[in-house]
Amino acid sequence: MADVHQAALKARIVKALEEPKHSAALLRCMQRGRDNRARALTELPGGADFRGTVKAVKDRCIEHQVELVNRFIANAEARGTRVFCARNGQEAIDYVLKLASDRKAKVIAKSKSLTTEEIEINDPLIEAGLKVIETDLGELIIQLVHEKPYHLVFPSVHKMAADVAKIFAKETGTEVSEDIPSIMKVVRAYLRPIFLNADIGMTGANVGIAENGCIVIETNEGNGRLVSSIGDCHVCVMGIEKIVDTIEDAMLMVLAHPVSASGQLPTTYVTWMGGRSPLGEGESRGPRESHIILLDNGRRSTRDDVAMRESLNCIRCGACMNVCPTYGVVGGHVFGHIYPGPIGIPWTAQVHGLENAGAFASLCISCGLCKEICPAEIDMPMMIAEVKRRFAVEHGFAKAERTMMGADGFAALGSAMAPIANRMIQSKTARKVMRATLGIDERRALPPFTHQTFKKWFHARKRVSQESKRRVAFFVDVFANHNRPDLGQSAVELLERLGCEVALPEQRSSGYPFIAYGNLDKAREVATFNIARLAPFAKDGYDIVATEPTAAYCLKSAYLTLLHSSNDSEFVAGRSHEFFEYLIDFDTGTTEFPSLKGRRFGFHISCHQRPLGAGHGAVEWIRRHGGEVKIIETGTCCGMGGTFGLKSGPLGYDLSMAVGKPLFDLFNQSGVDAILTESSVCAIQLREGTGLPVYHPLELLAQ
């Protein structure tokens, strides 16, 4: 069943891969968004710390939503604004249709509003004979070609100047030159009469303030100011989750929104609108009205849905799509329903239904980068996993997903039958069979299995007892256990040389694929098992150390979410470390070890490593041992996405290689001798994508 669903998505991915020009424009836009954000953060006194403050304010306002909505309505009405609570899109549309008909309106000028996109209000209004014009340039461009937003903040980013010139030439019936200043002149002239003659101005609102019944509209072009002031009737459509308590709360949003979206603080125009003002004096042109439509459309039930509630913290900045690796390749028409990108998955599930969300949720490779950039710290990866889980309850898991979630057992079998298994993964015929039966791409070089697993080695070896300064509980993941036990061995030996006593508690592999593909019940079972085994060690004073970034990420972050921050999971997280972040505190570089002088490495940060120190420990360790190392990055994923890139076809290998291409190019142009990365799966991807040797830093010990 799930495979049938994915077939349509795969066809759309194939089509997107054939349009590399769109992806190139989108990737430039995303890069610019990230760079500008980073620059803006240096201007903020607390830097990235504003994220915690935004989360706290949003959490508080959603918690008190019922009271805030009531207070907002009372205060807005006291200012003469009429407030209508719409349970769904249809009620909002009907309200506007009636308003337009009562006022005999002909022209509605709109300024950008995602909420009106959500309820697709334009079509029914146009069908009723109204002229409805989007006045934000990007929105206007896509309106004229009948498309949906490609990006939340830059909806027409996939249209080049030449395309835009053609669009306006067709619309205005005049010639339009392809340079941007000329296009702007045409746009200004085209929209001016619409602004001046609009009967109704329709906007969204970035914030509603309970304290005084004001709405806040942020724009850069100034269209929001014109739309909200000229027409005698102003209609604002806003979701109830936009309502905050105080002016101070609103000020924080006014700052957080553009910092995350485009690196501005704030947007050029911020309109704080409280009630409806007259236009001019004396003889009036008719009564001036202001209406606010407060939209529910699934928001109240989202608030009651524990796993999804945090999605209401979204402030629509689009930062998550500026960092999402697969979104950058396929764009918002494939990676989205109406709301695109990572946050688009839970939002689609809540307002447009699970079926629509499930249709593109598997594009999420669970790299976790969206969570790290989100101004409200929304745990999108886990929320998306929950959407995948709910979709799988209805439709099951796709074949390749089942394979990846069974990787543990598969690897155990591989180790047990190592010689045969290794011949199989080299054999073209066997690989074709594996594609058909398991969904593993035959172009992907798979790492060979070793007969002696790390665990077997650990328990079989002779230990020399010595006085220990530190006690370490080692956490090994599936790959290090079955495919590269040498890395775990090097880690253990190095720790022991530095005076640590190393223990190997009973454990299962991290189980991250269960999160990535949405089997959260299984993921929780694994987390419960591992935390129960590790917690006694943590309480006994052991430090828990993992060499695989994803394993460390599970211990420090994912298990906490899965187990709702149980005491034991908090305890384990507090004592868990990524190997080199741990080592760097006491390995001063004096251990006997071949010098790395004269060698030039490029370091790749795996996605799950970003919140754990972003490779700082490993890079510092290499430098202490004389190696030259520089971090080479695009700021997003290498494309492997854990096991995503092992899967066959467009929703796996093909997309994974397309995501990785810009990073492969950077490595190949960098002039380094070899690549270093701590992630076993990133290593597979980079080796294949660049043709360069790729090592785990621990391998350098043996060279």
The residue ranges that bind another protein (CB under 8 A) are 25, 28-29, 32, 78-80, 135-138, 141, 154-157, 159-161, 164, 180-181, 183-184, 187-188, 191-192, 195-196, 211-212, 214, 220-223, 225-226, 228-230, 246-248, 251, 254-255, 262, 265-285
Q: Which is nearer to another protein, 141 or 675 (CB)?
A: 141
What is the four-CA torsion angle of 156, 162, 164, 169, rounded to 10 degrees? Answer: -170
Nearer to another protein, 278 or 691 (CB): 278
Q: Residue 67 Cβ, how far from another protein at the closest point, in Å?
A: 19
Residue placing its CB nearer to another protein in the complex, 141 or 361: 141
Written as six digits, the tokens of 552 are 């460390």
Q: Are the CB atoms for 115 and 295 separated by under 8 Å?
A: yes
Residue pair 75/210 in contact (Cβ under 8 Å)? The answer is yes
Closer to another protein by Cβ: residue 25 or 607: 25
**Cβ of residue 70: shortest distance to another protein, in angstroms?**
19
Which one, of 335, 247, 234, lies nearest residue 12 by Cα? 335
> Is residue 215 classed as helix, strand or coil in its secondary structure?
strand
CB of residue 37 vs another protein: minimum separation in angstroms? 14
Q: How far apart are CA 127 and CA 685, in angstroms?
A: 51
Maximum distance among all alpha carbons in the chain?
Answer: 98
CB of 273 or CB of 421, closer to another protein = 273
Instruction: Please identify, using beta-carbon distances, which residue of 154 and 537 lies nearer to another protein.
Output: 154
40 or 672, CB closer to another protein? 40
Least gap, CB of 670 to another protein (angstroms): 26
211 versus 628: smaller Cβ distance to another protein:
211
Please give the Cα distance from 257 to 487 (Å, whole number). Answer: 44
d(CA 636, CA 367): 9
Can the peptide bond before residue 266 be classed as cis, meaning omega within 30 degrees of 0? yes
Nearest distance in Å: CB 164, another protein: 5
Nearest partner of 399 among 623, 220, 649, judged by Cα: 649
Strand (E) or helix (H) holding 631: strand 628-631
Tokens describing residue 479:
């790959």
Q: Could you give the angle at which helices 137-144 and 180-197 cross, rounded to 10 degrees?
A: 90
Residue 645 structure tokens: 């890139």
CB of 143 to another protein, least distance (A): 12
Integer Cα distance of 208 and 241 in angstroms: 9
Query: What's the rounded Cα separation, in Å, for the pair 488 and 457?
Result: 10
Tell me the closest approach of the beta carbon of residue 186 to another protein, in angstroms.
11
Least separation in angstroms between CB 177 and another protein: 13
Compute the residue count for the chain.
Answer: 703
Instruction: Name the minimum Å distance from CB 184 to another protein.
Output: 5
Nearer to another protein by Cβ, of 280 and 671: the residue is 280
DSSP per-residue letters across 437-495: HH-B-TTSPPPPP-SS-HHHHHHHS-------SEEEEEE--HHHHHT-HHHHHHHHHHH
Please, what is the end-to-end C-alpha distance for the chain in angstroms? 49
Q: Which two tokens stand for residue 28?
A: 């430039």
Given a contact cutoff of 8 angstroms between Cβ atoms, the answer to whether 79 and 275 are in contact is yes
- Taking residue 636's Cβ as centre, other Cβ atoms within 10 Å add up to 24
Least distance to another protein, CB of residue 27, Å: 11
CA 533 – CA 535 distance, rounded (Å): 6
- Looking at beta carbons only, is 232 or 442 nearer to another protein? 232
Query: Quick one: tokens of 325?
Result: 């690796």
Q: Does residue 663 contact residue 639 with C-beta atoms inside 8 Å?
A: yes
Of 202, 234, 224, 214, whose CA–CA distance to 116 is shortest?
A: 202
- Residue nearer to another protein on the CB measure, 254 or 472: 254
DSSP conformation class of 554? I
Q: How far is the CB of 676 from another protein (least distance, A)?
A: 34
Parallel/antiparallel/unpaired status of strands 214-219 and 207-209: antiparallel
CB of 580 to another protein, least distance (A): 37
Q: Could you give the CA distance from residue 279 to residue 264 in angstroms, rounded to a whole number?
A: 31
Query: Of 272 and 457, which CB lies nearer to another protein in the complex structure?
Result: 272
The CB-of-253 to another protein minimum distance in angstroms stands at 11
Q: How far is the CB of 555 from another protein (least distance, A)?
A: 38
Q: Which residues contact 384 (CB under 8 A, 6 or more apart)?
A: 342, 345, 346, 361, 364, 366, 518
542: which DSSP letter?
Answer: P
Q: Collapsing DSSP states into helix, strand and coil, what is residue 382?
A: helix
Q: Toward another protein, which CB reaches closer, 226 or 405? A: 226
Query: Among residues 191 and 404, whose Cβ is nearest to another protein?
Result: 191
Distances (CA, A) of 688 to 172, 200, 685, 695: 50, 57, 5, 13
**Residues 125, 98: contact at Cβ < 8 Å?**
no
Shortest Å, Cβ 438 to another protein: 42
Confirm if 522 and 511 have CB atoms less than 8 A apart.
yes
Q: How far is the CB of 688 from another protein (least distance, A)?
A: 32
Choose between 278 and 409: whose C-beta lies nearer to another protein.
Answer: 278
| Shortest spacing between CB 224 and another protein, in angstroms | 9
Query: Residue 198: what are its φ and ψ, rounded to 5°?
Result: -65, 135
